[in-house]
Amino acid sequence: MTGAVGGGLRRLGVIGCGLMGAGLAELGARSGFDVVVAVSSDRSLRAGRERVLASLDRSVAKGRIGAEDRDAAVGRLSFTDTLGELADRELIIESVTESHPVKAKVFAALDAVLPKDHDVVLATNTSSLAVAGLAASVRREDLVVGTHFFNPVGTMPLVELISSPRTAPEAAARAERFLAEGLGKRVVHAPDRPGFVVNALLVPFMMSAITMLESGHATAEDIDAGMTQGCGHPMGPLALSDFTGLDTLAAVAQGLFEQSDDARYRPPRLLLDLVTAGHLGRKSGRGFYEYA
């Protein structure tokens, strides 16, 4: 593949191939980028490749893309368990576990294998962590940005782009061109503050709905109906919590509470009890609702 694809870039690196990483890798390959996906082990490599290929096959089966498009995307994808194979990338998105220590360790390891004079834009895909804190793990803090993609990556149109106080304007501009022109996303600029824009509004709303249910103020069905049929939301806050994963939601809320000391983010006891019981929402078959 030759020439620029989107935003002047054509070589994309993705670190991690879980739900979000796989979605990013697939979207990048379908958008015409040469994508290298780096994972931590051979087992993760096999699982990640299978996840991406299965998703592409589903898109063909549903008529969203043709078989030729699927084959072209597969041809642009490669997988590795060696970070050094990302050294020639022009933009790298880290999408591992939502944990500052884990992400910082990955960034430090990546920094060690990149050329000292590199100008690679490094993005951490995060829903709640401070970008400036993660940028401190690398030499070129000015090249670090944050991205907050939404699940599923391929169909949700929005992405938040976060610049830390140390992010160079050119690095942020390159990232925005990649997101908007390369991936076709609507970009919202967010400050490097707890919750950015979306979760600063959404998480307190979801915590309030859970507290309302916990107190017996209303049933789950009535709370969600109030927001879908009364306010036009596509999904009620409790159904959305189940879709997100109650363990993920609790972790994000707790992290935001610890960063901000804002009681609006504090996870209610009901949420924590459901997580402890293993009722994690759709993925476990039970949360605020039961699922087949």
- The 10s digit of each residue's pLDDT in 205-233 is 999 999 999 999 999 999 999 999 999 99
The model carries a pTM of: 0.90
Q: Are 256 and 98 in contact (CB under 8 A)?
A: no
Domains of the chain and CATH, by start: 11-191 (3.40.50.720), 199-284 (1.10.1040.10)
Is 208 a residue of the active site? Answer: no
Token pair in block for residue 235: 């999904």
How do residues 126-157 score in pLDDT, each as one tens digit? 998 999 999 999 999 999 999 999 988 999 99
Catalytic residue among 44, 125, 127, 128: 127
What is residue 3's predicted lDDT score, i.e. its pLDDT?
46
What is residue 2's predicted lDDT score, i.e. its pLDDT?
39
The dihedral built from the CA positions of residue 138, 144, 145 and 148, taken in this order, carries a sign that is negative
Say how many C-beta atoms besides its own lie within 10 A of residue 282's C-beta: 16
d(CA 205, CA 237): 7
d(CA 211, CA 224): 13
Is 148 a residue of the active site? Answer: yes
Closest CA to 273 of 213, 225, 204, 201: 213
Place of tokens 């509470």: 257
Catalytic residue among 141, 160, 163, 241: 160
How do residues 17-36 score in pLDDT, each as one tens digit? 999 999 999 999 999 999 99
Is 160 a residue of the active site? Answer: yes
Residue 9 has pLDDT above 90, yes or no: no
d(CA 207, CA 226): 16
Catalytic residue among 148, 163, 164, 176: 148
What is residue 5's predicted lDDT score, i.e. its pLDDT?
58
Place of tokens 């990149």: 114
d(CA 52, CA 49): 5
Is 199 a residue of the active site? Answer: yes
Q: Is 209 exposed, middle or buried (0-12, 13-18, 19+ CB in 10 A)?
A: buried
Strand-pairing partners, residue 286, are: 281, 290
How do residues 68-90 score in pLDDT, each as one tens digit? 999 999 999 999 999 999 999 99
Catalytic residue among 59, 125, 199, 241: 199
How do residues 149-206 score in pLDDT, each as one tens digit? 998 899 999 999 999 999 999 999 999 999 999 999 999 999 999 999 999 999 999 9
Q: Are 109 and 28 in contact (CB under 8 A)?
A: no
